[in-house]
Amino acid sequence: MPDTPRPEQLDVVIVGAGFSGMYMLYRLRELGMSARVIEAGSGVGGTWYWNRYPGARCDVESMDYSYSFSPELEQEWEWTERYPAQPEILRYAEHVADRFDLRRDMVFETRVSSAHYDEAADRWLVRTDTGHAISARFCVMATGCLSVPKWPEVDGVEEFAGRTFHTGRWPHEGVDFTGRRVGVIGTGSSAIQSIPQIAAQASAVTVFQRTANFSMPAHNRPLSKEEQADLKARYREYRQAARESFVGVPRPLPTRNALDVSHEERVQTYSAGWDYGGLFGLTGAYLDTRLSEEANETAAEFVRSKIREIVSDPEVARRLSPYDHPLGTKRPCVDTGYYKIYNEPHVDLVDVRATPITKVTPTGVQTSDATYEFDDLVFATGFDAMTGALNAIDIRGRDGAALKEKWAEGPRTYLGVSVAGFPNLFMITGPGSPSVLSNMMVSIEQHVEWVSDCLGHLKSNGLSTIEPTDEAENAWVEHVNEVGAATLYPKANSWYMGANVPGKPRVFMPYVGGVGPYREHCTRIAAEGYTGFVLA
Ligand code: FAD
Ligand code: NAP
């Protein structure tokens, strides 16, 4: 650590300039608090700054996946498509930064390496890789649930002589695959979005699939001015409905169980969902889809029947069909032309469960039964989700206790926003909150507003410290586990469970109780004087 001058003195330090950090800064300014955002990237946007792979696109509709805090902003911004592509979302983030003059309190290309709570001073000392040091009363981790890329655990990756790319760290200038032989490892959302686009340029694409995934068509299309105007005219009530909804998108809730209706009726419902496009038509069609394996299987089999319909080679269709986890227990994907790309003669699928990758060589990939030669390798291998970015920072609370050690058996939080033993530390969409199971924009706004209201409460009551009690945290963790265990989610080896990262504890991390009920709970806790917290 280079010599540091006296740390900059602030009320709040915010780590991360994605949608969470940007809005947090906006709210703190409204409270008249001094704040600085520290961001590793060179610009705002977080996810949409880093994930520039071809085909990167939101799978929540644009009119839903946008801030609601400023009626003027939501009226003036025009979306061009039903599902916005990464460049458009990044432009939106940049527009927000300009419109609210956020950049003047942001430091870019700077990574926070440690955050230590100084008990005597009741302040957080935050240090960065550039030697910047900040002393702040409060620290807000807006570090993202999906911001630390996970590389494949395969020998020889660094030996590969061609170009390598990770979807979550895509070069800003783009990549030209024209005429090249490309290997893609992974078949999650990032792979499913990028493979058709890569295949449109490359001379040959080989996809290495470990787990077949469920994907539904996006049916993306331009968004007409009339459609936007219609929604904008009733945006306030629409946003309110989103806040009260289960997943952060207003939509009618299912009223019946899949197992209580006939096969014909189910197929009709699933077909309508498939034809409408997007995530919810199949995953949210019936009450019991997330709870009963038998009910879930009816939707899963519908997707498999679609794969068989689209993919002409029955053996490839079989390999693409997911059988090892219930539908929705891994984050389902939304695609444009994914399954049908396997009808192209230059696109191949290798099942690496049947024939595991043994190593990456200087010229390609070796599996247990073949050698593949490539010019480029794309790792669409995901993220160390939910806890990765927090554990990458040396966070220490009371008595120098490390958050990483406290979380050795899995994350423990109160409401997904705070941690016992770590006073005045907040997380936006942390583990134990609905976060990744929702339209994240709605969950981000809810957390940011709850935290800023809390800081406003402390300020106006002359208080300086807030910290959850062990009892409240234990009860919340138990509740999160209990509702998670009642669903099918724990049955999948998903990143929700930490199962994608070797050695990570297997714990279902998000809160599955629903965005609306969770919001109500948090609001009640604040209204009752911050039940479960000690305020000093
Ligand atoms: P992020 O956008 O991840 O921002 C966190 C920022 O913190 C990053 O810029 C990072 O560089 C910075 N940071 C982290 N650690 C440090 C550190 N130590 N020091 C300095 N800076 C640090 N959600 C949806 O609801 N719908 C979608 O369709 C959807 N699509 C997605 C597609 C992709 C490819 C990915 C990866 C995620 C997607 N998500 C989606 C989830 C998405 O992450 C959230 O919607 C949202 O963008 C998160 O915003 P955030 O500000 O909380 O985190
Ligand atoms: P992911 O869903 O975790 O997928 C990673 C893929 O890589 C999986 O198929 C995984 O196989 C495979 N993999 C990982 N390590 C491997 C190895 N060593 N050998 C072989 N295969 C390996 O990651 P992601 O696709 O980047 O998506 C992460 C999340 O970001 C999504 O779930 C979603 O929440 C969000 N996202 C959303 C969109 C969108 O449509 N809006 C797009 C991209 C991302 P296993 O399944 O067997 O582990």
Binned at pLDDT 50, 70 and 90, residue 277 comes out as very high
Same domain for 64 and 125?
A: yes
Is the predicted pLDDT of residue 308 greater than 50, yes or no? yes
The ligand 2 atom at the shortest distance from the C-alpha of residue 382 is 23
Q: Residues 89-137: pLDDT tens digits? A: 999 999 999 999 999 999 999 999 999 999 999 999 999 999 999 999 9
Same domain, 54 and 83: yes
Same domain, 402 and 348: no
Reference 121, options 137, 143, 107; nearest CA is 137
Q: Give distance in angstroms: CA of 142 to centre of ligand 1.
A: 9
Could you identify the atom of ligand 1 that is nearest to the CA of residue 19?
51
86 and 105 assigned to the same domain: yes
Ligand nearest to the CA of 429: 1
Average of pLDDT values for 316-333?
97
> Residue 424 Cα, ligand 2 centroid: separation in angstroms?
33
Express as a percent the part of the chain with pLDDT over 70: 99
Amino acid at 475: A
Residue 239 lies in a domain: no
Strand 123-128 versus strand 133-141 pairing type:
antiparallel
Task: Give the mean pLDDT of 362-389.
Answer: 98
Specify the residue with its C-alpha closest to ligand 2, atom 40.
59
Contacts 24+ apart (CB under 8 A), 481-486: 481/507, 481/508, 483/511, 483/512, 483/513, 484/508, 484/510, 484/511, 484/512, 486/291
- Say yes or no to pLDDT of 2 above 90: no
198 pLDDT exceeds 90?
yes
**pTM exceeding the 0.95 threshold for the entire prediction:** yes
Q: What is the pLDDT of residue 535?
A: 98
Could you tell me if the CB of 190 is within 6 A of ligand 2?
yes
Given a cut of 60, whether residue 496 has pLDDT beyond it is yes
Q: pLDDT band at residue 3, thresholds of 50, 70 and 90?
A: low
pLDDT (0 to 100) of residue 415: 98
Test site for ligand 2: of 167, 210, 440, 495, most ligand atoms within 8 A of the Cβ: 210
> Tell me: the pLDDT tens digits for 44-95?
999 999 999 999 999 999 999 999 999 999 999 999 999 999 999 999 999 9
* Atom 24 of ligand 2: nearest residue by CA position: 382
Dihedral of CA atoms 482, 510, 31, 122 in degrees, nearest 10, equals 70
390 and 497 fall within a common domain: yes
Ligand minimally distant from the alpha carbon of residue 338 = 2
- Looking at the chain, the whole-number percentage of residues with pLDDT higher than 90 is 98
Render pLDDT for 441-484 as a digit per residue (tens, 0 to 9): 999 999 999 999 999 999 999 999 999 999 999 999 999 999 99
Query: Per-residue pLDDT averaged across 254-264, rounded?
Result: 97
- Determine the 3-state secondary structure of 114 from DSSP: strand
CA-CA distance, 444 to 17, in Å (whole number)? Answer: 13
Give the residue, out of 47, 166, 197, 394, with the most ligand 1 atoms within 8 A of its beta carbon, to mutate for a pocket test: 47
Decide if pLDDT at 361 tops 80: yes
Domains contained in the chain, number: 3
Token code pair at residue 144: 């993202």
Note the pLDDT of residue 1.
Answer: 44
333 Cα to the center of ligand 2, angstroms? 10
3-state secondary structure of 501: coil
Q: Please report the pLDDT score of residue 208 as a whole number.
A: 98
**Centre of ligand 1 from the C-alpha of residue 146, in Å:** 5
Same domain, 530 and 436: yes
Q: Is 187 in the pocket of ligand 2 (CB under 6 A)?
A: yes
Q: Which ligand is nearest to the CA of 191?
A: 2
**What mean pLDDT value characterizes the chain?**
97
Q: Where are the beta strands (DSSP E) in 98-162?
A: 106-107, 112-118, 123-128, 133-141
Claim to verify: residue 398 and residue 529 sit in the same structural domain: yes
Distances (CA, A) of 448 to 28, 430, 502: 10, 12, 32
pLDDT the model gives residue 4: 52
Q: How far is CA 460 from the centre of its chain?
A: 34
- Pocket probe for ligand 1: among 147, 166, 444, the residue whose CB has the most ligand atoms within 8 Å is 147
Which residues have C-beta atoms less than 6 Å from ligand 1? 15-21, 38-41, 46-47, 49, 51, 56, 58-60, 65, 111-112, 142-147, 190, 389, 393, 428-429, 439-440, 444
**Ligand 2 atom at minimum distance from 154 CA:** 18
Alpha-carbon distance of 483 to 477, in angstroms, equals 10
Q: Are residues 502 and 368 in the same domain?
A: no
Q: Residue 189: inside a domain, yes or no? A: yes
352 shares its domain with 473: no
3-state secondary structure of 249: coil
Instruction: Tell me, yes or no, whether 241 lies in a domain.
Output: no
pLDDT beyond 70 at 172: yes
Same domain, 42 and 73: yes
Q: Do 268 and 297 reside in the same domain of the chain?
A: yes
**Tens-digit pLDDT profile for residues 147-157:** 999 999 999 99
Mind listing the pLDDT tens digit for each residue in 209-237? 999 999 999 999 999 999 999 999 999 99
CATH number, domain with residue 188: 3.50.50.60
- Measured CA to CA, the distance from residue 137 to residue 11 in angstroms comes to 5
Q: Which long-range contacts (CB under 8 A, 24 or more apart) does 367-374 make?
A: 367/208, 372/183, 372/206, 373/181, 374/160, 374/162, 374/181, 374/182, 374/183, 374/206
Task: Pick the residue whose CA is nearest to atom 37 on ligand 2.
Answer: 189
Tell me if 357 is assigned to some domain.
yes
Residue 374's domain comprises 150-214+328-382
Residue 268 counted as domain residue: yes
Residue 434 and residue 392 share a domain? yes
